[in-house]
Structure 1
Amino acid sequence: MSDDVEWVDEEAGPVVRPYALTGGRTSTSSAAFDLLSMVVATGSAVSASSHLGSEHRRLLGLMRRTRPIVEIASDVGLPIGVIRVLLGDLLDQGLILVRSPLPAATSPAESLLKEVISGLRAL
């Protein structure tokens, strides 16, 4: 059987439970991924001894351009916890790069907001 088989029954949905995709693991050996962390494939060759499953390879195909983790989870249709474990496997093997989200911008000064409101009212 090839690794490219998709384990989905059209009527029943996924045949393999999400915990089976991760081998029962619920956390990664890497740092926790934020939902808005940006992920991209490094383009490194996958070694024959890497033991990547079809879902790992599917994720690599989706990460040819930089994307947030939450968007990848949405496209794949798997729970975010499963995506984090699978991405942790790929990160451990050096197949992806992860960039943490930028810190939230500081709030603008109250005086600036008042000026904007005044300007809008003047229109």
Structure 2
Amino acid sequence: MTAGDTPGRLVRPFTLTGGRTRPSRSDFTLITTVTAVDPQPASAARPQPEHLRILRLCAEPVAVAELAARLDLPVSVVVILLCDLLEAGRITARPPRRVSRTAPDLDLLQKVRDGLGRL
């Protein structure tokens, strides 16, 4: 273990991805919600220990950024592992909801401003 290694971490993150540095898909952002498929597909290959940790944490919907924090792994590594699980049919990924881009109600904003001014 070198001076920069965290205590307890025995494997460098790039070894978890088999040396891959780029995800195979572009489905994931920091706020993409990931959920484990229940029941897990029987036809899929046996997952690695890291994949199993992800699947346990994804029993309930969780954002990619939160998942990376819980796993104490870089987001880039987690995204590569998530791509593996998505391609194996073991998780679903839900993109963030789009925010409406309609113009704000200027009358409502004026009333809020006036109300705040009276405080």
Q: Distance in 1 between matches of 2:36 and 2:67?
A: 12
From the superposition, tell whether residues 92 and 49 of structure 1 become closer, same or farther in structure 2 (CA, over 3 Å): closer
Which digits, 9 at most, give the CA deviation of each residue in 1:20-67, with x for residues without a partner?
A: 000011223233411111110011335486142111000000001111
Same amino acid, percent of matched pairs = 36
3-state DSSP of counterpart to 1:50: coil
What TM-score do the two structures reach when normalised by structure 1?
A: 0.80
Q: Structure 1, residues 62-94: CA drift from partner, whole Å, max 9, x if none?
A: 001111111111111100000000000000000
- Partner residue, 2:112: 116
Tell whether 2:9 aligns with 1:14.
yes
Which TM-score applies when normalising by structure 2? 0.83
Q: How do 1:63-102 and structure 2 match up within 5 A?
A: 63-102=58-97
Q: Distance in 1 between matches of 2:43 and 2:10?
A: 26
Report how many residues are paired: 113
What's the RMSD between the two structures over aligned residues?
Answer: 2.0
Deviation at 1:14, TM superposition (A): 1.1
Retained in 2: the 8 A contact 1:30–1:92?
no
